[in-house]
Homo-oligomer: A and B are copies of this chain.
Amino acid sequence: MQKVTIKDVAKLAKVSPSTVSRVLSGSPSISDDTCKRVKNAVKELHYTPNTTARSLRCEKSKSIGVVFPDISGEFYATCASAILKYARMSDYTVLFTESGHNLKAEKDSIKALLERRIDGIIFIGDNSDIPLIQSIAAQSIPIVTGDRKVGNIPSVTFNNRETVQEMVDSLYKSGCRKFMYVGETPTGQSNLLNRYNGYTDALKKYSDTTSVIFLEESLHGDKLKTARRLFTKKIITSLPDVIITSNDLIAQGIISAAHENGINIPNDMQITGFDDLISSAYFIPSVTTVSQNIDELAKRCFSMLMDLINKKSAVSSIIEQNIISRSSAKINI
């Protein structure tokens, strides 16, 4: 590794380490001459500052931690990329950790972040260990949640509940009466819970409808495969007019299984997804879905966290979703 320290630079530039440090941090009270000498020495020795030492001394690390359930999904991966972008602009580094669907892993990953002395945490994890998260906030370690609501921790969320209501209303108006909902069991993820609640909210208004609900634990795993199985095992025998799903992959799995069974979408049955995955626009038929501005989510989470880190107050906010009406279901908005 690097062996060049600020002392070596100081020696070559014939100044004290303090002065080198001042030049490096852009302190104003430095004569032009010494400034130049130091900068030349830095270049000559290929000096790379040691942020570990800086962090220890300054008691802040200029790094943040981000907890995802699993960084490989398109939604989280896109979010990770956007967070990296905003962090880069502010010269922060990002430590990503995965909590899986596992309370212990979530605890462990938060512990790891705390040991690294990150300056703050963006929590977009799965189980939402509420006591743990609240105890972190109570220790006045900056923490915000994204796409989830945990107690009164500052958060950025989407208006899932209203969006699903709107979809159901529109589908009802266009003639749908047999409804179905397919989604993951919502354990601790307020976004999933709100999608489901929006569905039941809306249907309460209509007395001439039927509703079948599948909340499947296994949909947390391989959504495409599980959805396909669900369709051929349980749905095909009595098709609804429309299926509202909590995720594009679930919708795609059902569409693919329906196609194999000679069922035409949207003619025989309609279906909607969530998340507007890239593939959904190009799927055949293209998938009617809900797009969420992930860049905006990342931006607000990051800037809210910066506010907290800089001792300013952070204000939670809600981002409006957009219904994207495509071939798999006609929704008028």
Contact = CB atoms under 8 A, between A and B. Distances in A.
A314 interface: no
Given A259-B284, A279-B252, A284-B284, A81 B71 contact: yes
A309 to B, nearest CB: 10
B115 A50 contact: yes
B116 A52 contact: yes
B93 A95 contact: yes
Interface in A90-148: 93-98, 111-112, 114-117, 119, 139-141
A77 interface: yes
A27 interface: no
A73 B94 CA distance: 18
A96 B73 contact: no
Residue among A56, A71, A140, A284 facing the most chain B CB atoms (10 A cut-off): A71
A333 interface: no
Nearest to A284: B284
A217 interface: no
> Can you tell how many copies of this chain the complex includes?
2
A6 to B, nearest CB: 13
Contact of A253 (B76, B96, B98, B282): B282
Interface in A292-323: none
A80 interface: yes
B112 A2 contact: no
B1 A59 contact: yes
A189 interface: no
A93 B112 contact: yes
A68 to B, nearest CB: 9
A49 interface: yes
Interface in A72-86: 72-74, 76-78, 80-82, 84-85
Contact of A94 (B88, B95, B114, B256): B95
A1 B82 CA distance: 26
Contacts of A281: 224
Contact of A81 (B70, B82, B252): B70
Contacts of A255: 282
Nearest to A115: B51
Nearest to A222: B278
30 contacts: A1-B140, A2-B114, A2-B117, A2-B139, A49-B115, A50-B56, A50-B115, A51-B115, A51-B116, A52-B56, A53-B56, A56-B56, A70-B81, A71-B71, A71-B77, A72-B80, A72-B81, A72-B82, A73-B77, A74-B74, A77-B77, A80-B96, A85-B98, A93-B116, A95-B95, A224-B282, A255-B282, A277-B279, A282-B283, A284-B284
Interface of A: 1-2, 48-53, 55-56, 59, 61, 63, 70-74, 76-78, 80-82, 84-85, 88, 93-98, 111-112, 114-117, 119, 139-141, 224, 249, 252-253, 255-256, 259, 277-279, 281-284
